[in-house]
Amino acid sequence: MASPLRTSARRTALRRAGIALVGTVGILLASAPASAEPGAPTSSADAARMVAERGHALEIVTEEFNQARDTLAAQQAAAVAAGAQLEKATAELAAAQQSVRSVARTAYTGESMGSFQAMMMSESADEFVSRVTTLQTIAGHQTGLVERAAAANVAAAQAQATATKAATDAQATFDAVAAQQADLQKQIDEFKAQFNQLSAEERRAAVAESSHTDEAAGEERADGARASRDDRSAPAPSAPVVANSQAAQVAVNAALAQRGKPYVWAAGGPNAFDCSGLTQYAFRAAGISLPHSSRGQSGMGQAVSRDQLQPGDLVFFYRPVSHVGIYIGNGQMVHAPTSGDVVKIGSVDSMRGFSGARRIAG
C-alpha cells in the first residue's frame, strides 16, 4: 500500500527540513550597510529608545518562530511514528491475507474433512466426537483468521490515512515556518543595520533600554543618564546558589556557566543563546526537556507566586510571554537579555512586565 511516509524521498525531505531550520536560524548574516530610515530619531536618547523597542519587538517574533519550530519538530516525529505504524499494519495485513488464502486453498482442493467423513472414518462414538471437536476447533481458527484479516485491513487503512495527514500537516507547517524564518532573518538584518548606525554610547543605552520595553514603552523617558542607570547587570552572587532539588541545582549551574556568551536570536547554545534557548539548554543538562519557546515554557511545571520564588524557578515577562530567565535567589536571575548583550545575571525588577513564574524541578 503506497504512502508518502514510506518512501525514502519523504523521510529525507522531513530530515532536511529540520536540519535546515536548526542550522540556519542561529546564524546571523553579516551586518547590512547603514542606511537612513523614515522617522529618524531626533536625539541620542530617542535613537536608543527606538532601537530598543525594535529589539524587543523582534524578540517577540523570535519566540513565536521558536514555538512554530517546536510544533514542526513534533509533527515530524508524529509523521515518522505514523510511517512505522503503517509499515507494521501493512505487514500484519499481508500475513492475515496469506492465512486466509491458505484456508481458501484447502477448502477448494477438498483437503479438509467434514462431519460426515469424520463419522464414516470413526471406529467408535468417542473417536467420532473427538474428530468433530477437532473440526470445530479448526473451523473456529479459520473464522478467527478471517476476522483478523478484516481487522488488519481496517487498521492498515486507518494507518494510511493517519500517515498521509501527518505528512501533510508537517509539510504545511514547514512551509509556514520557512516563510516565517525568511521574514525573521530580514528583520534581524534590518535591526543590525539600525543598531550599527548608533554610536557606542547609544548602543549601550539601547541594550539597557531594551530591558524595560513593555506595553508602556512609548512613554517619554529622560535622556542618556536614565538609560545608563537602567543597565543593571548584577555581579555574581557572593555565595554559591543553592537550589532545593538536584535537578534545579544542575539547571542553575548550567545557566550560570554560560555567562558572557552572546545573545543570538533563535540560538540554543552552546556558543550563543536567546532567552528560551538558554533555559532549555540549562534544564536539558538536568535531564528535563523544555520547548524552545518562552510561551511554551510558561505552561510547564507548577505556577509559583513571586514571593515564593526559589532558585531554579523560571521567571517570565510581558503579556503574551516573550522573555524568560532562571531565578537564582535574592531577587536575581540569569538570562539572555537582548541582541548586543550577553548571558548575565540581572535583577528580576530590572525588567518591567513580570508575568509569572513556574517551578520545573523541586
Does position 285 have pLDDT exceeding 90, yes or no? yes
- Pick the most confident of 79-83, 129-133, 298-302: 298-302
* pLDDT attached to residue 25: 37
Band of pLDDT at residue 19, cut at 50, 70 and 90: very low
178: containing domain: 4-196
Question: Are 326 and 250 within 8 A, CB to CB?
Answer: no
d(CA 299, CA 96): 45
Could you read off the pLDDT of 311-333 as tens digits, one per residue?
Answer: 999 999 999 999 999 999 999 99
Instruction: List, as own/partner pairs, every contact residues 54-57 make where C-beta atoms lie below 8 angstroms and the sequence separation is at least 24, other chains included.
Output: 54/191, 54/194, 55/191, 55/195, 55/206, 55/210, 55/213, 55/338, 55/339, 55/340, 56/210, 56/213, 56/214, 56/217, 56/322, 56/338
β-sheet bridge partners, residue 268: 273
* pLDDT attached to residue 13: 38
Lowest mean pLDDT among 57-61, 211-215, 327-331: 211-215
Residue 131 carries which side chain, given as an amino acid letter?
A: R
Instruction: List, as own/partner pairs, every contact residues 237-245 make where C-beta atoms lie below 8 angstroms and the sequence separation is at least 24, other chains included.
Output: 237/328, 237/329, 237/330, 237/332, 237/345, 241/311, 241/328, 241/329, 242/311, 242/329, 243/310, 243/311, 243/312, 243/362, 244/310, 244/311, 244/312, 244/362, 245/312, 245/361, 245/362
Task: Over range 296-318, report the average pLDDT.
Answer: 96
| CATH classification at residue 268 | 3.90.1720.10
* pLDDT attached to residue 21: 35
Pick from 84, 94, 93: which is nearest to 162 by CA? 84
- What are φ and ψ of residue 20, in 5° steps? -65, -40
Band of pLDDT at residue 12, cut at 50, 70 and 90: very low
Band of pLDDT at residue 97, cut at 50, 70 and 90: low
Instruction: Determine whether 51 is exposed, middle or buried from the number of CB atoms within 10 Å of its CB (0-12, 13-18, 19+).
Output: buried
Band of pLDDT at residue 2, cut at 50, 70 and 90: very low
Could you read off the pLDDT of 215-251 as tens digits, one per residue?
Answer: 333 333 333 333 333 344 566 676 789 998 999 999 9
Query: Does residue 77 sit in the same domain as residue 153?
Result: yes
Query: Does residue 179 sit in the same domain as residue 30?
Result: yes
Query: Does residue 112 sit in the same domain as residue 243?
Result: no
Could you give the number of structural domains in the chain?
Answer: 2
Query: Does residue 190 sit in the same domain as residue 48?
Result: yes
d(CA 86, CA 158): 8
Query: Does residue 114 sit in the same domain as residue 254?
Result: no
Report the phi/psi class of residue 316: left, alpha or beta, with left for phi > 0 and alpha for psi in -120 to 50: beta
Cα distance from N-terminal residue to C-terminal residue, the chain:
49
Give the cell for residue 179. 516563510
Tell whether 223 is covered by a domain: no
Q: What angle do CA 103, 107, 111 make, to 5 degrees?
A: 105
Compute the mean pLDDT over every residue in the chain, rounded to the nearest whole number.
Answer: 73
Query: Does residue 175 sit in the same domain as residue 260?
Result: no
Tell whether 111 is covered by a domain: yes
β-sheet bridge partners, residue 325: 315
Task: Over range 8-15, report the average pLDDT.
Answer: 40
For residues 121 and 296, which has the higher predicted lDDT (pLDDT)? 296
Enumerate the active-site residues. 275, 323, 335
Could you read off the pLDDT of 139-179 as tens digits, one per residue?
Answer: 555 566 556 666 767 777 787 788 788 778 878 877 877 78
Could you read off the pLDDT of 196-205 as tens digits, one per residue?
Answer: 888 888 888 8
pLDDT over 90 for what percent of the chain?
30
Instruction: List, as own/partner pairs, every contact residues 137-140 make where C-beta atoms lie below 8 angstroms and the sequence separation is at least 24, other chains included.
Output: 138/112
Query: Does residue 33 sit in the same domain as residue 119?
Result: yes
Task: Over range 294-320, report the average pLDDT.
Answer: 95
Band of pLDDT at residue 51, cut at 50, 70 and 90: confident
Query: Does residue 152 sit in the same domain as residue 265?
Result: no
Query: Does residue 140 sit in the same domain as residue 252?
Result: no
